[in-house]
Structure 1
Amino acid sequence: MKMFDEVEKSKVEIANCDLGNCAHQEHTDKKSKSLMQMDIDEKNPGALVAGDTIVSIVAGMSKENKQILKDSVLLASLAASKKYQDSNENAVQWYETFIKVMGYCGWFSQAKGLTDYRSSHTRFTMEQEALKILESAIVAMAVPGPTAVLLLKVAKDTIKALQSSDKPLRLFENQSKTHKSAKFAIASAAESTDGEVVMAMGAVNFVTTQDITNVLFWEWNNASVRIKRAENNLVLNAQHYERVREAVEAKLAENARDALAEFDI
């Protein structure tokens, strides 16, 4: 009975998610509804931008689980960003909403909230700091050593590839920043030989007195920016997702898939 109640609650919450309407020209063009969609070879790693979230996928994940991953992250990203557009004033609520919607989609989470963060370097880029946070999340996940190495390597390769992938990078920039603040997450996911899907995630929110033109690769210093961070480990409950799949797909079908882009790494 409790499981039934949780599933029904998830369906209702998913149906009530407000994803908003994207006003960017490259998103509203009907020919761009699914930016750079492509099949991902199961023998090769994959990468995608879903709103303000960058996801890398270790080789070997089934197409079905990749689709679950894409749809879950996209729904969570859009729902959180629509509800809390101002990442300066609502950083904590944005992250909490993201994780809550992931839970509705069947992702068991060991999330901790956003906390203040200060780089150990005088000058740094946000991609460097986000990868450090992700690495900490991977270590906390306590997966086998080779898997941990792959999760971090694929994430680094993804960020490197994103830097030269114009449309996905533009999509990410548009979704993640305002003039003087930004929020985003970097995640890396893998599927075990017995079909369990796990994902490590690092989230970053930062506020500055400067206009932000480049979220990931601009060089900052500690005096000019205030940062919050969070790390998380998630495990997919496939049975739960199957029970809410129709609700997720119906919500995304309304207007949201134009905020998804895949690219090679």
Structure 2
Amino acid sequence: MSNVNKEELSAYFDQCLGECRNKLKLAAAQIQPRSAKALPIDRDELNAAIMASAVVGFLDGMSRRNKRIVKNTYAYCDIASRVLFPAKAQKVSRYECFKKLMFATGWTEYHGAFTRYKSTTAKLTMDNVALDIVHSVAGGIAGSAANALKIVADKTIEALKKQPEAIKLLEHHAAEAYGANFGVSVCKQDEEGEVTMAVGAVHYDASVNNTKVLFVEWDSSSVDIYQGKAHFALHEEDLRKEAECIKYLDDLRETIFMEYSPV
């Protein structure tokens, strides 16, 4: 990436941050406090977590530092893009904003697209749709990690079924009027500390309002589904804007992050 592009991305990040700060009070008012029965506070110790409207699974061997980088950058980029482009008609702009902010924080994208998702079955669940998308992205990653990433994705979603508070938190952020927008991602770290992340984003519009996003069966003919696919990579030495992400997230941290174990 050229220095000019970095400068442009930095300016874009700063512009978005300023707009998001102006809307922070509204965003905070829409976020409910965590209940007393919630899972442990997120300390980057476990290998699965909720990040606002996304769930992430980490392969064994990820450092706590790299987990924190993933959570801080992803969560900020996700929240900012939702705050700036909240309307259903802005779903493409929202996804492009998310990616551009990820670039601004230092992530490199090797693949990315936002297209209509075509189901091959009459019945579906959105968690299975997300896994299908993540599997597709992971399958394009070279080396032996592809299968490991798919397995971690499966375990992360399977374990989520047993964590009602985590589901509640994700769905609170993901649900929209007559639809939802959420993401599932899996990460690995190589011997040199570089992080690879496969991201599957799901946006769907439904003919009926439903606050339940995951583990609910839908008739595929009753929903319009769009998918975002992205394969990101980052080494800590290339990280930018993390301090700004952390400062923005600090007031929201206890209501957007939640850890659990995929085992």
1:150 maps to 2:132:
no
**Given that residues 118 and 225 in structure 2 are in contact (C-alpha distance below 8 angstroms), is that contact kept between their aligned partners in structure 1?**
yes
Q: Secondary structure of the equivalent of 2:86? A: coil
Percent identity among equivalent residues? 25
TM-score calculated relative to the size of structure 2: 0.87
- Residue type of the partner of 1:178? E
Alignment partner of 2:244 out of 242, 247, 253: 247
Q: Equivalents in 2 of 1:136, 1:262: separation in Å?
A: 25
Call closer, same or farther: CA 1:203–1:159 in 2, change over 3 Å.
same
Residue 255 of structure 2 aligns with which residue? 258
**Given that residues 72 and 242 in structure 2 are in contact (C-alpha distance below 8 angstroms), is that contact kept between their aligned partners in structure 1?**
no
Call closer, same or farther: CA 1:25–1:53 in 2, change over 3 Å.
closer
Residue 212 of structure 2 aligns with which residue? 214
Q: Equivalents in 2 of 1:11, 1:80: separation in Å?
A: 11
1:148-178: CA deviation from partner (whole Å, max 9, x where unpaired): 1221111111111112212211111011112
Deviation at 1:240, TM superposition (A): 3.0
**Given that residues 188 and 199 in structure 1 are in contact (C-alpha distance below 8 angstroms), is that contact kept between their aligned partners in structure 2?**
yes
Q: Equivalents in 1 of 2:197, 2:67: separation in Å?
A: 12
Q: Secondary structure of the equivalent of 1:26? A: coil
Alignment partner of 1:162 out of 157, 160, 163: 160
Residue 23 of structure 1 aligns with which residue? 30
**Given that residues 201 and 229 in structure 2 are in contact (C-alpha distance below 8 angstroms), is that contact kept between their aligned partners in structure 1?**
yes
Call closer, same or farther: CA 1:215–1:197 in 2, change over 3 Å.
same
Q: Secondary structure of the equivalent of 2:201? A: strand
Q: Secondary structure of the equivalent of 1:21? A: helix
Q: Show structure 2 runs of 5+ residues with no match.
A: none
Q: Equivalents in 1 of 2:19, 2:69: separation in Å?
A: 17
- Residue type of the partner of 1:259? I
Q: Equivalents in 2 of 1:126, 1:52: separation in Å?
A: 13
Deviation at 1:12, TM superposition (A): 2.2
Deviation at 1:259, TM superposition (A): 1.1
Q: Show structure 1 runs of 5+ residues with no match.
A: none
**RMSD of aligned alpha carbons:** 2.5
Report runs of 4+ in structure 1 exceeding 6 Å deviation: none
**Given that residues 112 and 230 in structure 1 are in contact (C-alpha distance below 8 angstroms), is that contact kept between their aligned partners in structure 2?**
yes
Q: Secondary structure of the equivalent of 2:241? A: helix
1:78-105: CA deviation from partner (whole Å, max 9, x where unpaired): 111112223x322111211111121121
Q: Secondary structure of the equivalent of 1:120? A: coil
Residue 136 of structure 2 aligns with which residue? 136
Residue 66 of structure 1 aligns with which residue? 67
Call closer, same or farther: CA 1:52–1:37 in 2, change over 3 Å.
same
Residue 117 of structure 1 aligns with which residue? 117
**Given that residues 92 and 113 in structure 1 are in contact (C-alpha distance below 8 angstroms), is that contact kept between their aligned partners in structure 2?**
no
Q: Secondary structure of the equivalent of 2:89? A: coil
Q: Equivalents in 1 of 2:148, 2:75: separation in Å?
A: 23
